[in-house]
Structure 1
Amino acid sequence: MSTTQSTVEDRSVGELLSVVTSDVQVLFRQEVELAKAEIREEATKAAKAAGMFGGAGFAGYMVALFLSLAAVFGLANVMDAGWAALIVTAVWAAVAGVLFVMGRARMRRVSPQPERTMETLKEDAQWARHPTR
């Protein structure tokens, strides 16, 4: 009998359980690290989408302010200034609506659930129930 076989056979159940417990702890730590990485990735996507909302809001404000003034003054040469201001306001309301819809579409693509971690945890649980398969 070789020394490797004799050492495996000589190991107690407690030693074997200790090895299995250690392996499970390592696996659990790896799963936690994977979950953290996935959450960081999704948070980055959410931050980018939020930045786009903010940038769109600020840019929309500045453009609306100066372009609206120019448009109102231009239209006031053709019609009453009140009607000119109302037309310009309606145009910028449409622009704001488009920007909102685009930002909302990007925000819907953000997944708060760590998909890969959930899948590997399911696989680990399946293995734990049936380790010989």
Structure 2
Amino acid sequence: MHTRADDRSLGELFGDLVRDMGILVRQEVNLASTELTYKASRVGRELALLAVGGLVAYAGLLAIVAAVIIVLAAAGLPWWLAALIVGVIVAAVGAVVVQRGLAALKRVDLAPRQTIQT
């Protein structure tokens, strides 16, 4: 492909340098794209898992909430007060669950570390 290094002109050397730099830039872009695609799919799986778990828990929670309100009302509390007490407790638990989910997402490192190192 190349002749001996001493036989190449300055123009040929410069052309090789430009070509090699272009190859390097393309390889770095491909590496960054691959790394970011992997990390994005990982975040997507975790978000899907979080959403499915939330929906299933929500269905169960609705049944439990209704039962607790009925029990409190049967114990002598007015219906509106029973619903208010249960609603406040459920909202507090929901806030804790959301905070945990956000904390788990923040632990995912989205920076293309391998690309940055090269």
Q: TM-score, normalised by structure 1?
A: 0.71
The answer to which of 67-76 and 49-58 deviates more is: 49-58
Alpha-carbon displacement from aligned partner over 1:19-68 (angstroms, at most 9, x marks no partner): 22222121111100111012112212332343244335423431221111
Q: 5+ residue gaps in structure 1?
A: 121-133
Pairwise CA RMSD of aligned residues? 2.3
SS at match of 1:113: coil
SS at match of 1:110: coil
Give the equivalent residue in structure 2 for 1:91.
89
Name which structure has the greater RCO, CA cutoff 8 Å, separation 6+.
2
The partner residue of 2:55 within 58, 75, 87 is 58
- Percent sequence identity is 33
Q: 5+ residue gaps in structure 2?
A: none
Whether the 8 Å CA contact 1:75–1:84 is kept in 2: the answer is yes
Aligned residues: 116
- Within 5 A, what are the aligned runs for 1:2-13? 7-13=4-10
Give 1:94 deviation, angstroms: 2.0
Say whether residues 1:110 and 2:113 are aligned partners. Answer: no
Whether the 8 Å CA contact 1:56–1:99 is kept in 2: the answer is no
